[in-house]
Amino acid sequence: MSHTTTLDWTAVCTLDRLEPNRGVAALVDGVQVALFHTVDGLFAIDNRDPVSGAYVLSRGIVGSRGGVPTVASPLHKQVYDLRTGDCLDLPGMTVARHDTRCHDGIVEVRLRREG
């Protein structure tokens, strides 16, 4: 998907381009991001699976565990909390989470950079 940058927010696509409960990969300022639109809202995490190192989380299975919106890695099935990036199966394992918003029908992502 193409994008433009305005301040810290990057426009990724229109909201209607996101299928409910399916992920999509986007390149945001050089970072592969997995973007999800669920009944709980919009979520963005790094697309890189921290267990395998493969860029596949956007192809994961979207669901929930105990009311928590999740995505399961398509490779080894570890489940990640879309709100925090924490792995629910491997304590201490996380994937970076990024800010999302929808402004005038446009989905925008702001990277959270460590440091």
Instruction: Tell me the chain's radius of gyration from C-alpha atoms.
Output: 13
- Does this model's pTM top 0.85? My answer is yes
Q: How many structural domains are present in the chain?
A: 1
Other beta carbons within 10 angstroms of residue 114's beta carbon come to: 4
Asked if residue 19 belongs to a domain, the reply is yes
**pLDDT tens-digit profile of 11-56?**
999 999 999 999 999 999 999 999 999 999 999 999 999 999 999 9
Q: For residue 44, tell me if it sits in a domain.
A: yes
What's the CATH number where 82 sits?
A: 2.102.10.10
In a domain, 33, yes or no: yes
> Is 78 among the domain residues?
yes
Q: Is residue 86 included in any domain, yes or no?
A: yes
Residue 35 falls inside a structural domain: yes
Whether 93 maps to a domain, the answer reads yes
**pLDDT tens digits along 68-78:** 999 999 999 99
pLDDT interval class at 2 (50, 70, 90): very low
Range of the domain at 103: 4-110
DSSP 48-105: B-TTT--B-GGGSEEEEETTEEEEE-TTT--EEETTT-BBSSSTT-B--EEEEEEETT
